[in-house]
Structure 1
Amino acid sequence: MRDIEAATGEDLGSSRVGGKKRKGKKKKYPNLSDLKQSSDTSRSRLERKVFNKSTMRRVAQVLSKADRRKHDKFSNQFNYALN
């Protein structure tokens, strides 16, 4: 790899390969999950969007409108009005 670098004059990264390996700091409790990292999961991001106050209001409005429409359609038939 180094001879190719010498011939072309380009750095292909051979200086990084096989360098000194440094030991990282050992975790005190390796099996515990990091609470700060787990707060930004896909579930929490979706919860912020789905359970937003304006979103809940909009969904409730659409559902009540659908219920009202069904009630108007079947108001004279008791069985269908409640389902």
Structure 2
Amino acid sequence: MCHKNNITRSLYNRGNESATDFAYALALYRRGFTRMEVYNCILQERQDWTNHASERKKEQYLTRTLLKAEKIIG
């Protein structure tokens, strides 16, 4: 579980793994988490990596997701 205010990924469940990750990333960025902290929180808390099975695919997916979230947050 990530620390600041005990925020967890389950609080942002959208019924879709990618949508949940994105909502969670936005929430973490809004609370002042760094890119590495957001990356690690999602990596630790997401259970189903079926669509991104290899380490390379996980890394590429998380990088894309975080860059999209950063664009919105500014």
Q: TM-score, normalised by structure 2?
A: 0.28
Which structure's residues are more often helix, by fraction? 2
- Which is higher, the Rg of structure 1 or of structure 2? 1
TM-score (ref. length: structure 1): 0.25
Higher relative contact order (CA 8 A, sep 6+): 2
